[in-house]
Structure 1
Amino acid sequence: MRRPADAVFRPVRGGNAFEETVERILQAVKLGIYAHGERLPAERDLSARLGVSRDTLREAVRSLQREGYVESRRGRYGGTFVTYREPQPGVGRLRRAARDLGAGLEDALVHRMVLETGAAEVAAGRVLDEAGRAHLSGRLADLEAATPGEYRQLDSRFHLAVAELTGSPTLVAGVAEARMRLNDLLNAIPVLDRNIEHSAAQHRAMAQAILAGDPEGARRATREHLEATAALLRAFLG
């Protein structure tokens, strides 16, 4: 099965290769595809996957290292490791993120809704192999066992796992990009026990519908979850 990194680390097409490379790595880090302390793919592999020169990749890594997202280590067990830690959530941070999005907030929420409900429906309509079923169940279990500090990144991984089950790399990339657009906002939502319990029930409903092969149920459960998240955002923003 393809993983979100396969979609994020897809070949750079056009534009500025350096800027695109920085953006792809940043997306993998901020979405939690590679979490704090994890090692990115080896330089040779990553440059080939992105379709850029190793010099361009090194320049991008140096730029991200200066910003505190990654660090390079030498030696037998060396490589590029993620050092980024998600800032603490809070209403002040949430409002700043909303101001940054401005009038694009509602557009971003609609975009996410269309992509993720469609992804859930498609995933539920496919005949999933044992690896795919275990992958989704594992992401759900990870999310349900998450500490408050881990919750948002594991939430992101769960939603990306749903997209992976569609078998469409383009759709996985689209879901990742839609999530990235809202990432700072979603990660700033205060982690409250009652809301997490509510989200957990919604995530279980999504997974159960997909694993049961119920496309309409999967679409409905995903819509209810995303509508609840949007309502929570609006409530915090007043």
Structure 2
Amino acid sequence: MAETSEAHETADRLTSVLRPVRGGNGFEEALEQVLQVVRLGLVPGGERLPAERELADRMGISRVTLREVLKVLQEQGLVESRRGRYGGTFVRQRRHTADEDELRRRVAAVDLEDTLRFREVLEVGAAGLCATHGLSPEAAERLRRALAATHDATLDAYRRCDTLLHLTLAELSGSPSLTTQYAAVRATVNDLLDCIPLLVRNLEHSQQQHMALVEAVLEGDADAAREVMREHCAGTAALLRGFLA
């Protein structure tokens, strides 16, 4: 009876955090939510997370996606998997480290929400402008080359190539002021991204969005370009909020 009561209390605590994810960024948003559960202490260190089926149902994702989320948390040392009758995924006890102090200092110096919102405004605006006004053959080829560079990049080089692709879009928007502002906010975003791990699943998803974005821009579909970019920014924001907020 005591175990059942404890399970109900855990479920109640999770209601305010775990919710169906929106389409488009299932992995990133699910990771953000489970990170919140762990980092807020809704499931304390040493306790077990709800069963995979319950977590997947609450967030409206497949168990395959959930397992990828849990794998990331395990690789980051936040949870551990135990086998057997009383097994499952358990939250690990957190240990305070000097690196964590440095991380807190870096994040505290940035207004995370302001940075993410300003970035979204600039990125969505740049994508819309490029699609609306069209690109010259030379500009279109430049954008294709920037996309190809992200496709061919190694993990170590990916973030740099990703930055150059987004900066290329900003430059091709035709607004030097927008480009200047974007370069500044992207530098801040990259500082934040350096505080979180590179996740292969997220990079694969980002690459799919990159291809859809470039296609929309080259076809002159401004609405689609803005929507893809908005969704793309939301995925990155979900990861940063999950790890750093």
TM, length-normalised to structure 1: 0.58
SS of equivalent to 2:155? coil
Q: Specify the alignment match of 1:182 in structure 2.
A: 189
Q: Which structure 2 residues correspond to residues 206-221 of structure 1 after superposition, within 5 A? A: 206-221=213-228
Measured on the aligned residues, the alpha-carbon RMSD in Å equals: 1.9
Q: Which structure 2 residues correspond to residues 35-184 of structure 1 after superposition, within 5 A? A: 92=100, 95-101=104-110, 104-184=111-191
Q: Specify the alignment match of 2:200 in structure 1.
A: 193
Structure 2 residue runs without a partner (length 5+): 1-75, 77-98
How much has 1:99 moved relative to structure 2?
2.4
Measure the CA separation in 1 of the matches of 2:240 and 2:124.
Answer: 19
SS of equivalent to 1:228? helix
Q: How many residues align?
A: 147
SS of equivalent to 2:112? helix
SS of equivalent to 1:157? helix
CA contact (8 A) 1:209 1:218 kept: yes
SS of equivalent to 1:109? helix
Distance 1:96 1:194, change over 3 A: farther
Alignment deviations for residues 196-230 of structure 1 (CA, whole Å, 9 cap, x no partner): 10110111111111011011101000000000100
Read off the aligned partner of 2:188 and give its amino acid letter.
R
Distance 1:212 1:96, change over 3 A: farther
Read off the aligned partner of 1:98 and give its amino acid letter.
V
Q: Specify the alignment match of 1:45 in structure 2.
A: none
Distance 1:95 1:223, change over 3 A: farther
Q: Specify the alignment match of 2:31 in structure 1.
A: none
Q: Specify the alignment match of 1:14 in structure 2.
A: none
Q: Specify the alignment match of 1:228 in structure 2.
A: 235
Distance 1:94 1:186, change over 3 A: farther
Measure the CA separation in 1 of the matches of 2:106 and 2:236.
Answer: 15
Alignment deviations for residues 172-219 of structure 1 (CA, whole Å, 9 cap, x no partner): 111111112222102333111111101101111111110110111010
CA contact (8 A) 1:113 1:226 kept: yes
Identity of paired residues, percent?
A: 46
Measure the CA separation in 1 of the matches of 2:104 and 2:237.
Answer: 14
Measure the CA separation in 2 of the matches of 1:211 and 1:146.
Answer: 22
How much has 1:96 moved relative to structure 2?
4.7
Structure 1 residue runs without a partner (length 5+): 1-89
Measure the CA separation in 2 of the matches of 1:157 and 1:193.
Answer: 19
How much has 1:125 moved relative to structure 2?
0.7
How much has 1:171 moved relative to structure 2?
1.2
CA contact (8 A) 2:134 2:218 kept: no
SS of equivalent to 2:156? coil
How much has 1:141 moved relative to structure 2?
0.5
Q: Which has the larger radius of gyration?
A: 2
How much has 1:153 moved relative to structure 2?
1.0
